[in-house]
Amino acid sequence: MPNQLEKLIKVAYKKWKSEHLKADSVHPDEEAWACFLEGRLTQEENERIKTHLISCDSCAEVFVTQVRLKPQPVKGLPEELLERVKNLVVSEDKLSVVEIVIMLKEKALEILSTTGDVLWGEEFVPAPVLRSRQIKEFKDEITILKDFKDIRVEVKIENKLGEAFDLIIFVKDKQTQRIIKDLRITLLKDDLELESYLTTCDKLIFEHVLAGKYIVEISNIENKIASILLDIKR
Query: In this predicted model, what pLDDT tens digit does every residue of 45-70 receive, in sequence order?
Result: 877 877 777 666 656 655 555 544 44
Mean pLDDT of 111-134: 86
Under DSSP, is residue 47 helix (H, G, I), strand (E, B) or coil?
A: helix
Under DSSP, is residue 104 helix (H, G, I), strand (E, B) or coil?
A: strand
Residue that is last in its domain, among 59, 93, 127: 93
The answer to whether the CB of 136 falls within 8 A of the CB of 130 is yes
What's the confidence (pLDDT) of residue 95? 53
Burial class (CB in 10 A: 0-12, 13-18, 19+), 101: middle
If asked whether residues 13 and 78 sit together in one domain, one would say yes
If asked whether residues 109 and 89 sit together in one domain, one would say no
Encoded amino acid at 85, one letter: V
What's the confidence (pLDDT) of residue 63? 58
Instruction: Reply yes or no on whether the pLDDT at 102 is more than 70.
Output: yes
Domain that holds residue 185: 96-233
Tens of pLDDT, residue by residue over 18-53, are 554 443 456 676 667 667 776 777 888 877 877 777
Residue that is last in its domain, among 70, 93, 116: 93
Tens of pLDDT, residue by residue over 192-209, are 999 999 988 888 999 999
Q: Assign 167 a pLDDT band (cuts: 50, 70, 90).
A: very high
